Amino acid sequence: MKTDRDLGLEMAAALRYASAWRGKRVVIKYGGRAMAGDEFGTLIDDVVLLRSAGLRPMLVHGGGAEITTTLQSMGVEPRFIDGLRVTDRATMRVVEMVLGGSVNKRLVGMIQRAGGRAVGLTGKDGDLLRVRPHPRSDELGFVGEIEKVDTSLLDQLTNSGYVPVIGSLGVGPGGETYNINADTAAAALAAEVAAEKLLLLTDVRGISDNGRFRSRLTPGEAGELIDSGVVSAGMVPKVRACLTALEAGVASAHILAAGEPHGLLVELFTEGGIGTMIKEPGNPGATGR
């Protein structure tokens, strides 16, 4: 049984963490198969708690599963090249409908029902994400690569107590809408707002190396796992997004399971965490992990 002294020490530690994190920005990406159902676990409550504790969370989302389902209901079979969705004009209309509409507004509504304040955006709003066509645009269609990030709108929202909820769309040189990989979008935003942490929520625990779970990796070790093929398929863009964010000055990047109860809080505020953290040695960030 815990004594009053034990409880007091735990409360003191929690207050120290809260003080260290006040005002810090964290970018959280939620998407892929983790979003396939309507169950969001404790994610929404955790995001609202972070905002109420004085942090400035930003939620970036994809919606690939819903896009695929919608296309199939219209008799269109989705196509992919190297993991990127082939996005012709008809597909782009569905992508924008889902990312800028149904998924985005559902997340906004859930945050507000949980007691937070949220504003739904895409990278088109306020020229947040300016993109250029992908080098393979002749095959991929309206798939973009991020060229410029303008976070002035995000600064206004977070300074006013809102949680920005951002769909991974961008605007092209002629004002066209482009589809963007959500991991890439989250990394670019984390870099531009000087986030303390980038957190990618997915449907697996993190990174495993031949059956051994890796709680901590250096950027060099993470790169070697990609080169050796240990990190493969859909995990590759996530790890690359983490490395991009770290190179731009983000203190640490994390990959963790979205379904773990309060996993977001555990990863942020405990020494051990629950996922895989990628960080340069000797960079403590806001906490010891």
Three-state SS annotation for 107-140: HHHHHHHCCCCEEEEECCHHHCEEEEECCCHHHH
214 contacts 276 by C-beta, under 8 angstroms: yes
Distance from C-alpha of 203 to C-alpha of 29, rounded to nearest angstrom = 12
What is the rounded distance in angstroms from the CA atom of residue 222 to the CA atom of residue 218? 6
Mean pLDDT of the region 205-221: 90
The strand order across the sheet containing 177-179 reads 144-149, 129-133, 169-171, 177-179
pLDDT tens track for 49-94: 999 989 999 999 988 888 999 999 998 889 988 778 999 999 999 9
Q: What is the pLDDT of residue 271?
A: 79
pLDDT at 12 over 60: no
Between 67 and 272, name the one with better pLDDT.
Answer: 67
Question: pLDDT tens for residues 114-146?
Answer: 999 999 999 999 999 999 999 999 999 999 999
Residues serving a catalytic function are: 29, 32, 64, 183, 238
Distance CA 101, CA 107 (A): 10
pLDDT at 42: 86
Distance CA 280, CA 267 (A): 17
Least confident of 11-20, 52-61, 110-119, 248-257: 11-20
Q: What is the mean pLDDT of the chain?
A: 87
Residue 99 pLDDT > 80: yes
Confidence at residue 106, expressed as pLDDT on a 0 to 100 scale:
92
Overall average pLDDT of the 258-278 stretch? 88
